[in-house]
């Protein structure tokens, strides 16, 4: 089996930890990021920094236009990113079909790379209730992918690895620290400024902050 892995890398806490985990498993790592029309672009600066730090074999940033489709506070300038509020509802920061579009491109690139392992940093505990972060979704995607591609039909199955799926933020942070991740270099905020400083009040900031508190680790995040 190919020891290549393709890691979806946003430059945030979760995807960076996921890359560190893939590295620790001796995979030859390829990183894929998306300039998908997100309002804040500084996460791509973080992604580049982290890809370089982890010496990935190749880092691609694909430009796609989910903002043309809209329907999310992360891509639509007319919809503000709200302050964190505990709720069971799927928030307005949900981007329609985002992980499916991302994983579809990952599938395509993995096939050309001759790579059988895709890693994605979804987790089902401390997250925002997005349906496409749940294990049952990931399993359904993997099943679909293995009916879709030439490689899979020829017997080279694709595995979607979700090493964080059952971890909370504090556990993710502890695992990353054990692997030497410097979280000051990661960026999680939905509306960081152009210098990558976090707002401190969106859902993503809130879950991240609580993670450092629960892990009893000083929060290295730069706030605005």
Size of the site for its own copies (CB under 8 A): 42
Cα angle 91-95-97, degrees, rounded to a multiple of 5: 125
Q: Among residues 173, 221, 220, 128, which one has the least CA distance to residue 17? A: 173
Closest CA to 144 of 194, 192, 187, 103: 103
Q: Per CB under 8 A, which region of 15-23, 37-45, 137-145, 174-182 contacts its own copies?
A: 137-145
Structure tokens at 165: 């799926």
- Of 11, 12, 15, 10, the closest CA to residue 119 belongs to 15
Q: Does 90 bind its own copies (CB under 8 A)?
A: yes
Query: To the nearest whole angstrom, how small is the minimum distance from the Cβ of residue 119 to its own copies?
Result: 17
78 contributes a contact to its own copies by CB under 8 A: no
180 binds its own copies per the rule CB under 8 A = no
- Residue 108 interacting with its own copies (CB under 8 A): yes
> How far is residue 112's CA from residue 37's CA, in Å, rounded to a whole number?
25
The helix/strand count (H/E) of the chain reads as 8, 5
CB atoms within 10 A of CB 193: 14
Q: Binding its own copies by CB under 8 A: which of 24, 87, 143, 184?
A: 143
Q: Which of residues 158-177 bind its own copies (CB under 8 A)?
A: none
80 scored as a contact of its own copies (CB under 8 A): no
In the complex, the residues that contact its own copies under the rule CB under 8 A are: 60, 62-66, 68-71, 90, 94, 96-101, 104-105, 107-109, 111-112, 131-132, 134, 136-137, 140-141, 143-145, 147-150, 152-154
């Amino acid at each position: 089996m190919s020891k290549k892995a393709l890691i979806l890398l946003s430059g945030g806490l979760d995807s960076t930890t996921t890359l560190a985990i893939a590295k620790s498993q001796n995979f030859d790592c390829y990183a894929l990021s998306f300039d998908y029309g997100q309002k804040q672009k500084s996460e791509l600066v973080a992604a580049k920094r982290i890809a370089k730090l982890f010496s990935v074999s190749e880092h691609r940033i694909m430009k796609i236009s989910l903002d043309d489709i809209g329907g999310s506070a992360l891509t639509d300038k007319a919809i503000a990113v709200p302050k964190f509020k505990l709720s069971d509802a799927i928030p307005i920061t949900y981007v329609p079909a985002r992980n499916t579009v991302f994983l579809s491109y990952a599938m395509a690139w993995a096939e050309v790379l001759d790579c059988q392992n895709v890693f994605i940093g979804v987790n089902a505990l401390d997250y925002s209730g997005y349906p496409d972060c749940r294990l049952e979704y990931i399993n359904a995607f993997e099943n679909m992918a293995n009916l879709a591609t030439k490689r899979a039909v020829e017997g080279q199955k694709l595995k979607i690895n979700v090493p964080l799926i059952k971890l909370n933020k504090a556990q993710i942070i502890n695992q990353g620290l054990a692997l030497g991740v410097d979280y000051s270099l990661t960026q999680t905020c939905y509306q960081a400024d152009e210098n990558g400083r976090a707002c401190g009040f969106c859902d993503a900031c809130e879950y991240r902050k609580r993670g450092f508190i629960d892990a009893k680790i000083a929060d290295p995040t730069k706030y605005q």
